[in-house]
Amino acid sequence: MHRAAFECLGLASWSYSKIAVRRGALPDRWKELAATHVGINVTAPHKEVAARLVDELTPAAAVAGSVNTVVFSSEGSIGATTDGPGFLKALARAGIPNPRRALVLGTGGAARAIGAALLERGTTVTISGRNASAGKLVVAALSAAGSGQVAFAPMAAAALAPLLAGADLLVNATTAGSLSSPDESPLPPGLAPSRGNVVFDAVYLPQMTPLLKLANDSGCVTVFGLEMLVEQAALSFALWTGLEAPLEVMRRAAQMALFSEEALLP
């Protein structure tokens, strides 16, 4: 996406590449990255660590407690999260009005950013995850920000069934259904989305995840994770370059790459 955007806008000296950083090693690599890069994207499991390493956090990143975009300059580093805003843009692009009640599955940086963004829109949010301690910490942090009504629910069918029945929106912000667990739904066994749910899966590879298959079978409106990926990437691009991202160029590049990757899946 970014390479296509650089080419489109004539930024011939810019490049974008993947940097492997083992878990726990980001602090040791930080000075090197700051000295050699205009900016970076940060993926799991480094998002919360990056939020502690930057010199300054944007307000949204401070609430989310995670960073997926860093801008380096001679004055220091700024950490931002484009996950939440990118999620909202993808939701709006799908023609979904502001939901009243949302159930967000996950307790990591993406779940926290999405929860914070929804709360800012006035949505009542329930966070659910297998790690109850982590989930309660996310809820405490979002509550402390004073953005709106947020609660935690255990990842159990008995707890989630009534929440699904009353929710406008179900969001998967876990890795369930991704290449690391391609046959796994983030919901407990035997539980499926309710017909009235809009189902948004942040997983983008594969595009049709187990959760989205369940949602289609239930007659739900679905939103693919690729849309969030493109929107948050465009926001990162603008932060690094100061230019408006060529969104459709980036979307086409992402779709082509995803099609190529899916063709290689077993």
pLDDT at 265 over 90: no
Do residues 201 and 177 make contact, with C-beta atoms less than 8 angstroms apart? yes
Say if residue 167 is in the same domain as residue 206: yes
Q: What is the mean pLDDT of the chain?
A: 95
Verify that 144 and 253 share a domain, yes or no: no
Q: Domain check: are 78 and 90 in the same one?
A: no
Q: At 68, phi and psi to the nearest 5?
A: -120, -5
* Integer CA distances (angstroms), 45 to 86, 110, 140, 162, 203, in order: 19, 11, 21, 31, 15
Angle of helix 247-263 relative to helix 225-241, nearest 10 degrees?
130
**Residues of the domain holding 145:** 84-226
The active-site residue, picked from 47, 89, 136, 213, is: 47
Which tens digits make up the pLDDT trace of 119-139? 999 999 999 999 999 999 999
Q: Domain with 139 in it: what CATH number?
A: 3.40.50.720
Looking at the fold, whether 33 and 153 belong to one and the same domain comes out as no
Q: Which residues contact 249 (CB under 8 A, 6 or more apart)?
A: 4, 5, 8
What is the CATH number for 24? 3.40.50.10860
pLDDT at residue 147, as a whole number: 67
47 catalytic? Reply is: yes
CA distance 111 to 54: 21
* pLDDT > 90? residue 38: yes
Owner of token pair 């300059």: 73
pLDDT digits (tens, 9 = 90+) for 57-74: 999 999 888 999 999 999
| Residue given tokens 């609430």 in the structure block | 63
Instruction: Give the chain's domain count.
Output: 2
